[in-house]
Amino acid sequence: MTSNGPPTQLGQIPTELALTERQLDPFPWYETMRETAPVRYDEKRDCWDIFRYNDIDTVLCNHEQFSSRLSSTDGSTRGTSPGERKDTMIRVDPPEHGRLRGPVDEHFTAGSLRNYRPELERLVDETLDKALADGSEIEIVSEVAFPITIGVIAELLGLPTNDRDQFIQWSRGMLPPQKTRGEDPRRERTNPVNKIHKYFEEIIDERKRNPGDGLISELVRYGEDGSRLTEKEVFDTCNLLLGAGHITSVSLLTSAIWMFAKHNIVPEIRDGSISLDSAVDEVLRYRSPLHTMPRITRTEVEVGDTQIPKGERVVAWIGSANRDEQEFETPAEFVPTRTPNRHIAFGAGAHYCLGAPLARLEADVALSKFFERVYEIEITTRKCEPIVHPTLHGIKSLQIDVGTEL
């Protein structure tokens, strides 16, 4: 159970969640663990699981004791190929963390994203025009959530307009497989990530020679005073933004439409009697898009009443923290007007989600425009299929029938 042992299995799903139904509804297990074993060692995965809100908040806010510097053999699902060293901001601790996050940070504040809103509105309008053009049946993941979230990343990175369709096509291959209406069955599934990597390399090279608009140009230009990110760091940052920023937001948009329909609050969202912002926060709490965050102990630490030795892997179950009865009243209920709502779906501490203001903006624009046009939703998916993944939480697809304004 030490870091000198064989590669750990942080990227593995615990036995207790192995059944597909448990992936969709892990919450009864979380409740049992919060009550009976809030900090436990799992021999099979060689890591410590932490389930209570307060303990998890401490872990995430305390990088001196809980490091994010996991190696590629830690089985983390964040995209490092075996043997490859990848020091993105999410995998390093302060002060190195600040050097990598600093140049990107300023582009993701609520203030600087305000200028991006009109472009986002245009992207959402175009996507909804297309999705609603063919009648009343829509598959939300592939026709609404994915084109919006991936389109946003392509725009923010400043990818040339002519390349965007190809980029979107490759990125589709990163979504969990599903059957969708009108989809070409021959669609590209072979190694889309390699194609995206090659494309990023080419575009970074091009931007070095001919800087243009967008984040890639900014990053390449950044720090010409000597604090410049290396080319490899710019490349890793592009990959991180793509990986961290699109499937999470797809899950938020899909779960929001699913929850609003399931709990019959579409009319109240439309007329504003339930605030969209607070309802979105409740979706983030109730169906957090990420359920686990990995760390490694830098010293011997005490969590709750349990001693964890130095060099141990730790999994903070934020999906459980967000249902903790010590923090939330009636945590198992979906309460779209919940205040306060101190969920930690975006994490906490130094690694608090860089893209949180963007995810909130996407949800605000996409959902308000969606519900301006759609006044009624019937869920036609017979059985929601969960994404089966050690970190991600959500459903693979959501088929709905909508009533639209004339």
Residues that bind ligand HEM (CB under 6 A): 60, 68, 89-90, 101, 153, 240-241, 244-245, 248-249, 252, 289-290, 293, 345-347, 351, 353-355, 358-359
Nearer to ligand HEM, 33 or 350 (CB): 350
Taking alpha carbons only, the member of 364, 48, 400, 68 closest to residue 244 is 68
Query: What end-to-end distance do the CA atoms of the chain give, in Å?
Result: 63
Shortest separation between residue 312's beta carbon and ligand HEM, angstroms: 17
Nearer to ligand HEM, 220 or 345 (CB): 345
- Between CA 20 and CA 27 the distance in angstroms is 13
- Between CA 90 and CA 237 the distance in angstroms is 10
Nearer to ligand HEM, 240 or 259 (CB): 240
Shortest separation between residue 32's beta carbon and ligand HEM, angstroms: 23
Shortest separation between residue 57's beta carbon and ligand HEM, angstroms: 11
Shortest separation between residue 382's beta carbon and ligand HEM, angstroms: 26
Nearer to ligand HEM, 111 or 182 (CB): 111
Nearer to ligand HEM, 101 or 172 (CB): 101
Nearer to ligand HEM, 136 or 197 (CB): 197
Nearer to ligand HEM, 121 or 376 (CB): 121
Amino acid found at 58: T
The residue nearest ligand HEM at its CB is 355
Shortest separation between residue 239's beta carbon and ligand HEM, angstroms: 10
CB 50 within 8 A of CB 202: no
Shortest separation between residue 281's beta carbon and ligand HEM, angstroms: 11
Shortest separation between residue 28's beta carbon and ligand HEM, angstroms: 22
